[in-house]
Structure 1
């Protein structure tokens, strides 16, 4: 049996999000981004803000300036049409400007999508309205340590995983 049109739309949005090339264009104007896991978030201030699209774009830019290499691989995508959600399990393979070491950030994204008629100008268009990124704490802590060990300041404007400190 062929997948429904909605399933195909949600799957394609999740796939494109995972590939990351046009991630901001896939988001609704009022989309929000946050991080999980609850304990990790509670212990790391750089993960505590819920971001609108402007803040999310700034996060991508400030984090990107510290990274030299960025490759991704999607391992699996699960779509729930009824709840208009998708889950992506994937890996980012990252290196810093200071080290050739490649660190695998094995993570999970949960995405929620707009409902029919929510996107102004096109009642059939679907966009991402919420993303939660469950990062690999040890991978992010390793990347941050590589940057700090080279005496490069991460900067207070950098949000997200590079600010994770593990004790």
Structure 2
């Protein structure tokens, strides 16, 4: 019995796969924005989780808001100290022009940068117990001591991507992204971030805003 599996990838399949791979593990903010259509929308799942955590997860984001989300979240995470992201599988549906990406991000809370102060959810210096703990753990120069051990947490999540309808394959971009969050992992990292920084800014969106999951 002969296999029905295609012997070669079609140009459309290859392009959609490349877009999905770049979206999952971008090298920069500019790369991830360059592969999204001007009218692209980002949103979150799962629905019940989103309903509990509006507006930090409930709002759909245009590209400008999505970029702001990336930039406001990044200072709280230590990407250099965590393991590289890993893509487990990518499933491409050429007919529907959709992709499903199963992957893991290893999220590690970042220590405060020298010269910065912890930020509460109101955007001001926090007097909470968690902020006091962070302050007590700092060296005399205001930075946290190097012996502080922070574990990276695996966030095992799913991206669902939809692509635009252009006939020219090289013109196709991402028109919609839905991120199905690993709520327990995100909540764990968020808890560590709040212990270190005393909170997160009011403009921060995404999984690190979750509590009690």
Q: TM-score, normalised by structure 1?
A: 0.92
1:30 equivalent in structure 2: 39
- For the residue of structure 1 that corresponds to 2:188, the secondary structure is helix
Residues 57-68 of structure 1 mapped to structure 2, 5 A cutoff: 57-68=67-78
Q: Which runs of structure 1 show a deviation greater than 6 angstroms over 4 or more consecutive aligned residues? A: none
Give aligned pairs, total: 163
Unaligned runs of 5+ in 1: none
What CA distance in whole angstroms lies between the structure 2 residues aligned with 1:59 and 1:35?
12
| Cα drift, residue 154 of structure 1 | 0.7
Residue 163 (structure 1) aligned with residue 209 (structure 2): yes
Unaligned runs of 5+ in 2: 1-6, 112-148
> Superposition RMSD on alpha carbons, in Å?
1.4
Of 108, 114, 119, 1:95 maps to 108
1:77 maps to what in 2?
Answer: 90
Note the C-alpha offset of 1:3: 1.2
CA distance, structure 1, for counterparts of residue 198 and residue 23 of structure 2: 30
TM value normalised by structure 2: 0.73
Residue 55 (structure 1) aligns with: 65
